[in-house]
Chain A
Amino acid sequence: MNQQVKPILDIKNLTTQVNTEFGAKTLIDNISLSLFPQETLCIAGESGSGKSVTALSVMGLLPPAARITNGALLLNGENLLTYNERQMQRIRGGDIAMIFQEPMTSLNPLMTIGSQLSEAISAHNSLFGSATKQRALELMDAVRLSEGKMRLKQYPHELSGGMRQRVMIAMALVSNPKVLIADEPTTALDVTVQAQILALMNELKADFGTSIILITHDMGVVAEMADRVAVMKDGKVIETSPVDQLFAAPKKQYTQTLLAAVPLLGQKKGQPVILPNAEQPPILSVKDLTVRYDIKGGLLQRATNRVHAVEKVSFNLFKGETFSLVGESGCGKSTIGKSIVNLTSWQGSINIDGQEINGLPTKQMNPIRQKIQLIFQDPGAALNPRMTVGDLVGEPLLIHKIASGSEVEDRVADLFTKVGLSPEMMTRHPHEFSGGQRQRICIARALCLNPKVIIADESLSALDVSVQKQVIELLQQLQDEMNLSYLFISHDMAVVEQISHRVAVMYLGQIVETGTRAQIFENPQHIYTKRLLNAVPIADPTKRHARTLIQNEEIPSPIHDLKYIPQINEYSEISKGHFVATYQN
């Protein structure tokens, strides 16, 4: 950026602290950032680095316990910190607008889209009646929401996540803000929807001349969007560089490690896939698995509609192998995981280590349960906060009456060492651990019964990339040592590429393409696989690609009326082990 150009927003030596019972704690420490006209500045960093606090400080939306203790916030040379509440209200949504991470919860569920939009419009413009409505419609057009008139009458729950985020953006644009702060705007969205929203933001930047501060943990999004990047860590700005420079030659050690930890799509290109034990019978074999839920209603609570969550899915998982189910939300991947451990009712056949479990009574099911264990997405929620982690990890042994007393303790200590924790930590409670450590504890608990198969349902999604990398390494190391099989359920294509031997891509309850990692990632055949791969942002600004396959359409709903008979995919084997659903229109 040209030094002569004056920044629109200049954050100078900003320090924000929060009151805690142990005194003031510094959340962001003396940070300085400048945002120039028509620029996208990305603030990147891992959780707890102070990215969001920076945004909330600028907006004057800090929680009551937090306050700015030092510095200046210059918007076009005017210090916002000298403004009173009334003046700040004019700035918020006026000169500086903000959109948030969770489009699902960021809109008032009791008000229509139209009234929420009009409310923002009339807060900043003196428009009346039909003029407000006209403006609302213009904004709906601006964010490419179809059928604007109808949408304005709808309530938030009637819209998908992507559409709600568009509404949020429309709301932010009501008075052509000079600065748009987007705090993880696509983190909660599916990758194809993320691509749509990011593309929209770039278009709006050009159309409206808005400068954007984009806060994200995703280096792929940074590479895709940023002009300049500020890397934050522990409340400080470590490094601010133009995006090309940051990725090509990061100045600081931390930036280098951060970038090194980012799973890159295509990282494994050209490496052969060595399939373990494919000649032996599979440890887990799923055949024609179907899961449907009835939606009930009416006087007698009869079924009115049916969710076709999973339709005739078949696959095998071999010993020592990682098989990934990948797809977007609602594609049925997690339902498959739940079916295998009987947490939902299902039809079809599931064979675990040679034993068919369909129709098996609970008593005979219990020993089989030991062979399959689960690791979930949110390690914080998966651990009972009132129990010590040692008790949590040892509990399965007690439940299955495998060990008791000091035996349990020895076993748990052993497991702690195995997952890279110290056995002395056993007496602590879950809240004393970081996210990554908690996931290690969950892994230790899953390993406790010497399982043969581990189902990892989005187990890495909630972790920062550096931690994610360590956990992936841990999982691979454990697989080598214990000959474990993983059923890895994820939406993250880059992680799936890193960890998998074989992959199945799911769409609307069915597998559309399956094959080895190399077959899927290097030679994708199905249109949906291609679209999915194309939508993943690449953490390399030189590869900013023209996104040819971005479509503003959404995945159709899996809910149908009772008469609906799903069309079951047929597959053709295009090379050994690579099956593609024959594309039907």
Chain B
Amino acid sequence: MIGFLSRRVFESALILIGITFITFLLLFVLPADPVRQIAGRSATPEVIANIRHQLGLDLPFYQQYWRYFVNLLQGDFGRSYLQKSEVAELIKARLPASLLLMAAGIFAELLIGLAMGIISSLRRGGKTDNILMVVSFVGVSAPQFAVGILMLYFFAVKLAWFPIGGYGTWQHLVLPALTMGFMGAGWYSRMMRSSMLNVLEQDFIRTAKAKGLGKLKVIMRHAVPNAILPIIAMIGIDIGLFVSGMIVVESVFGWPGIGQLAWQAIQRVDIPIIMGVTLVAAFFIVIGNFIADVISIFVDPRIKLK
């Protein structure tokens, strides 16, 4: 276990370093100029050159990157160009809201997606199966901003079950979490369905039935745990999709998370914030994959730790 952990930590560190480099490079070659954003339209060339020099943006790429990287190792994410505060502070203030939304979104997508998948597989070829698969198709293909706006329209405006936007109570959380989870539920229901159909044909399911177990036990104790195995790995990857979804959903629902922060920063080429949010997101993807692997180990005794 310790060997496994140290290997994974080592790998994760490499991945994160790679991500800082690639993101930094992409922002460097981007035609947008942060200095113009800061200085405003009427600034003189001297002012612009001055700001550029102050921010170190006149240095060659490798020096800029090296400076950023060394600071990062000391826990310094840099200062926002425009918001006049530390990036770390900005992210710290907004992270809890995003984590809450992410957790609720993952919970929603798994609950809805797995339930839909299990039910369709048991009703294979029937009406229920067809209806659920149409719903899942909509989930996979509908853009999140449209889903979010429709949810707002029906459940907040028309029915007034939930608040229109904002942050604070559990009622605020429901619609954004459902919007976040809907797409994932579409994917998971399809994966769970095919995984279940595969497992239900396995010999050990027949053995379980031959023992005289009831249908519910056969499904919940023997079929579902086996069917979920390939899906656990997907949850780790899924967090990446979630982060991009967060930018949209937080904007639609006015959710004060890092998604909104990122969106504003992108519009204004506020490089330190973009870097910071990207890194945090990457960190969670890496953590998510790590957790998925650890869960797999606990669920599947065949995976041996070397």
Q: Which residues of A contact B (CB under 8 A)?
A: 59, 61, 85-86, 89-94, 97-98, 100, 102, 105-112, 119-120, 123-124, 155, 157, 168, 171-172, 174, 296-299, 304
B306 interface contact, C-beta 8 A: yes
With A92-B209, A93-B210, A108-B226 as contacts: A157 and B204 at CB distance below 8 Å: no
Complex interface: chain B residues within 8 A of A296 (CB)? 306
Q: Are A299 and B6 in contact (CB under 8 A)?
A: yes
Q: Which of these, B204, B221, B302, contacts A106 with CB under 8 Å?
A: B204
Q: Are A92 and B301 in contact (CB under 8 A)?
A: no
B residues 82-100 touching A (CB-CB < 8 Å): none
Q: Are A110 and B203 in contact (CB under 8 A)?
A: no
Complex interface: chain B residues within 8 A of A97 (CB)? 210
With A110-B299, A157-B301 as contacts: A299 and B10 at CB distance below 8 Å: yes
Chain A, residue nearest B226 (CB) = A110
Q: Are B212 and A89 in contact (CB under 8 A)?
A: yes
Given contact pairs A61-B206, A89-B212, a sample of 18 additional A-B residue pairs in the complex whose CB atoms are under 8 Å apart: A86-B214, A91-B212, A92-B210, A97-B210, A100-B203, A105-B203, A106-B206, A108-B204, A109-B300, A110-B300, A112-B301, A119-B221, A123-B211, A155-B302, A171-B211, A298-B306, A299-B3, A299-B6
Binary per-residue interface labels of chain B (140-151) against chain A in the complex, 1 for a CB within 8 Å, 0 otherwise: 000000000000
Q: Which residues of B contact A (CB under 8 A)?
A: 3, 6-7, 10, 202-204, 206-215, 217, 221-222, 225-226, 229, 299-302, 306
Q: Is the interface of A mostly helix, strand, loop or mixed?
A: mixed
Q: Are A297 and B212 in contact (CB under 8 A)?
A: no
Q: Which of these, B10, B208, B214, contacts A108 with CB under 8 Å?
A: B208
Chain B, residue nearest A301 (CB) = B306
Q: Are B212 and A94 in contact (CB under 8 A)?
A: yes
Q: Which of these, A86, A92, A109, contacts B211 with CB under 8 Å?
A: A92
Chain A, residue nearest B225 (CB) = A110
17 A–B contacts, CB within 8 A, in A order: A59-B210, A89-B213, A92-B209, A92-B212, A100-B203, A108-B222, A108-B226, A110-B299, A119-B208, A119-B213, A120-B212, A120-B213, A172-B210, A174-B211, A299-B3, A299-B10, A304-B306
Task: Determine how close the nearest CB of chain A comes to the CB of B33; give it in whole angstroms.
Answer: 44
Q: Are A298 and B212 in contact (CB under 8 A)?
A: no
Q: Are A123 and B6 in contact (CB under 8 A)?
A: no
Complex interface: chain A residues within 8 A of B221 (CB)? 111, 119
Q: Are A105 and B202 in contact (CB under 8 A)?
A: yes
Chain A, residue nearest B301 (CB) = A155
**Cα–Cα, bound, A297→B3 (Å):** 10
Chain B, residue nearest A85 (CB) = B215
Complex interface: chain A residues within 8 A of B209 (CB)? 61, 92
Chain A, residue nearest B212 (CB) = A93
Q: Are A120 and B211 in contact (CB under 8 A)?
A: yes
**Cα–Cα, bound, A107→B214 (Å):** 17
Task: Determine how close the nearest CB of chain A comes to the CB of B52; give it in whole angstroms.
Answer: 45
Q: Are A105 and B212 in contact (CB under 8 A)?
A: no
Chain B, residue nearest A93 (CB) = B212
**Cα–Cα, bound, A108→B205 (Å):** 8
Q: Which of these, B204, B210, B214, contacts A109 with CB under 8 Å?
A: B204
**Cα–Cα, bound, A572→B203 (Å):** 47
**Cα–Cα, bound, A105→B204 (Å):** 6
Q: Which of these, B207, B222, B226, contacts A100 with CB under 8 Å?
A: B207
**Cα–Cα, bound, A92→B222 (Å):** 17
Chain B, residue nearest A174 (CB) = B211
Q: Are B300 and A171 in contact (CB under 8 A)?
A: no
Chain B, residue nearest A89 (CB) = B212
Q: Are B302 and A299 in contact (CB under 8 A)?
A: no
Complex interface: chain B residues within 8 A of A110 (CB)? 225-226, 229, 299-301
Chain A, residue nearest B4 (CB) = A299
Q: Are B207 and A171 in contact (CB under 8 A)?
A: yes
Q: Which of A94, A110, A120, A174 has the most CB of B within 10 A?
A: A110
Task: Determine how close the nearest CB of chain B comes to the CB of A545; give it in whole angstroms.
Answer: 32
Complex interface: chain B residues within 8 A of A174 (CB)? 211
Chain A, residue nearest B201 (CB) = A63
Chain A, residue nearest B10 (CB) = A299
Chain A, residue nearest B210 (CB) = A98
Q: Which of A107, A298, A299 has the most CB of B within 10 A?
A: A299
Q: Are A124 and B6 in contact (CB under 8 A)?
A: no
Task: Determine how close the nearest CB of chain B comes to the CB of A93; give it in whole angstroms.
Answer: 4
**Cα–Cα, bound, A515→B116 (Å):** 63
**Cα–Cα, bound, A296→B221 (Å):** 33
The list of the 4 closest CB pairs from A to B, nearest first, reads: A297-B306, A93-B212, A92-B212, A93-B211
Chain B, residue nearest A110 (CB) = B225
**Cα–Cα, bound, A120→B7 (Å):** 41
Q: Are A100 and B206 in contact (CB under 8 A)?
A: yes
Task: Determine how close the nearest CB of chain B comes to the CB of A385; give it in whole angstroms.
Answer: 19
Q: Are B301 and A109 in contact (CB under 8 A)?
A: yes
Task: Determine how close the nearest CB of chain A comes to the CB of B295; give it in whole angstroms.
Answer: 13
Complex interface: chain B residues within 8 A of A172 (CB)? 210
Task: Determine how close the nearest CB of chain A comes to the CB of B257; give it in whole angstroms.
Answer: 37
Complex interface: chain A residues within 8 A of B207 (CB)? 100, 106-108, 168, 171
Q: Are B212 and A123 in contact (CB under 8 A)?
A: yes
With A299-B3, A299-B7, A304-B306 as contacts: A102 and B203 at CB distance below 8 Å: yes
Q: Which of B210, B217, B222, B306 has the most CB of A within 10 A?
A: B210
Complex interface: chain A residues within 8 A of B206 (CB)? 61, 100, 106
Q: Are B213 and A123 in contact (CB under 8 A)?
A: yes
Complex interface: chain A residues within 8 A of B302 (CB)? 109, 155, 157
Complex interface: chain A residues within 8 A of B215 (CB)? 85
Chain A, residue nearest B299 (CB) = A110
Task: Determine how close the nearest CB of chain A comes to the CB of B201; give it in whole angstroms.
Answer: 9
Q: Which of B3, B202, B207, B209 has the most CB of A within 10 A?
A: B207
With A93-B211, A109-B301, A110-B300 as contacts: A298 and B3 at CB distance below 8 Å: yes
Task: Determine how close the nearest CB of chain A comes to the CB of B300; give it in whole angstroms.
Answer: 6
Task: Determine how close the nearest CB of chain B comes to the CB of A89; give it in whole angstroms.
Answer: 5
Complex interface: chain A residues within 8 A of B299 (CB)? 110
**Cα–Cα, bound, A102→B203 (Å):** 8
Chain A, residue nearest B204 (CB) = A108
Chain B, residue nearest A90 (CB) = B212
**Cα–Cα, bound, A565→B206 (Å):** 44
Complex interface: chain A residues within 8 A of B3 (CB)? 298-299
Task: Determine how close the nearest CB of chain B comes to the CB of A36; give it in whole angstroms.
Answer: 23
Q: Are B210 and A119 in contact (CB under 8 A)?
A: no
Complex interface: chain B residues within 8 A of A155 (CB)? 301-302
Q: Which of these, B10, B202, B212, B226, contacts A124 with CB under 8 Å?
A: B212
Chain B, residue nearest A103 (CB) = B203
Chain B, residue nearest A59 (CB) = B210
**Cα–Cα, bound, A351→B10 (Å):** 47
**Cα–Cα, bound, A190→B204 (Å):** 21
Task: Determine how close the nearest CB of chain B comes to the CB of A53; give it in whole angstroms.
Answer: 13
Q: Which of B208, B209, B211, B302 has the most CB of A within 10 A?
A: B211
Complex interface: chain B residues within 8 A of A91 (CB)? 212
Q: Are A61 and B210 in contact (CB under 8 A)?
A: yes
**Cα–Cα, bound, A94→B211 (Å):** 8
Task: Determine how close the nearest CB of chain B comes to the CB of A83; give it in whole angstroms.
Answer: 12
**Cα–Cα, bound, A304→B305 (Å):** 13
